[in-house]
Amino acid sequence: MLHIEILPALADNYIYLLREPKSGETAAVDPADAQVVLDALRQRGWKLTYVLNTHHHADHVDGNRRLKAETGCRIVGAQSDAARIPGLDLGVAEGEILMLGNAEARILDLSGHTRGHIGFWFPEEEAVFCGDTLFSLGCGRLFEGSADEMWRSLGKLAGLPPATRIYCAHEYTEANGRFALTLEPDNPALQQRLSEVRALRARHLPTLPVTVAQELAANPFLRPHSVAIRRTLGMEGEPEVAVFAAIRRRKDQFRG
């Protein structure tokens, strides 16, 4: 079983440190700050094997080169975006498998937030690392992709086994929940999730991981089929991707 640690970084980033206990192989997912990772490794006596990058944004790759220089780790990222992943050693694509010791990670193409955005799904561990594609109660902005692309990517995550734990890269849950309530205020799953989130944040604790099942019940970006959301938007009878796109546009303008 993978040992997974959450390392807060910058203002609201999460770096994930993964260790496969039998082999001792260790990976850092989206190292925004190399020092945070190096400190954690020293404290635990671990050696870094891989950096796993979901996409090219600076707050996900800034630690790459220093970690590679100081630990000898290999940098893994999307082959399709190789030019923008600093220090890339191993380019991967959807359908390929990466082994972290005995733990198998399947690569998912999750383009939409950026071109070449990928995720790392560990089916036996019931865990997925999805960067900025899906957030708890939210999703990433469409900086480089279309609504169609993002909707396909979200569909891949929504289709994972319900118990799969989602590890996304930012602590945005409470703000996302405030927006979600404007669309579906009477959703009991959303109300319960937001209550839990507020309690966690009051104690300065992460709101992650969260399961696929929880997100399907409460995250409006996975719920364009919802009668209540469609009624709020005045989009009864519209295709799901059109409703999703409208939700994303509304969130882009939300100040709350």
Over residues 135-166, the pLDDT tens digits come to 999 999 999 999 999 999 999 999 999 999 99
Q: Report which DSSP code applies to 48.
A: -
Catalytic residue among 30, 59, 62, 109: 59
Amino acid in the structure at residue 114: T
| Spatial distance between the Cα atoms of 105 and 97, rounded to a whole number of angstroms | 6
12 labelled catalytic: no
225 labelled catalytic: no
CA 202 vs CA 26, 166, 193: distances in Å: 31, 21, 14
Catalytic residue among 56, 60, 81, 109: 60
- Report pLDDT for 255: 87
59 labelled catalytic: yes
| Spatial distance between the Cα atoms of 55 and 100, rounded to a whole number of angstroms | 19
Average pLDDT per 10 consecutive residues for the chain, totaling 256 residues:
96 98 98 98 98 98 98 98 98 98 98 97 98 98 97 98 98 98 98 98 98 98 98 97 98 91
132 labelled catalytic: yes
- Report pLDDT for 130: 98
117 labelled catalytic: no
Domain that holds residue 30: 3-253
Catalytic residue among 30, 33, 57, 81: 57
| Spatial distance between the Cα atoms of 238 and 94, rounded to a whole number of angstroms | 30
CATH code: domain of residue 245: 3.60.15.10
Q: Is the pTM of this model over 0.75?
A: yes
- Report pLDDT for 139: 98
CA 158 vs CA 6, 80, 235: distances in Å: 23, 23, 22
| DSSP track, 210-237 | EEHHHHHHH-GGG-TT-HHHHHHHT-TT
User: What is the percent of the chain where pLDDT is above 90?
Assistant: 99
| Spatial distance between the Cα atoms of 95 and 111, rounded to a whole number of angstroms | 14
Total domains in the chain come to 1
Q: Report which DSSP code applies to 170.
A: B
CA torsion, ordered 150, 151, 155, 158, to nearest 10 deg: 80
Catalytic residue among 30, 33, 55, 109: 55
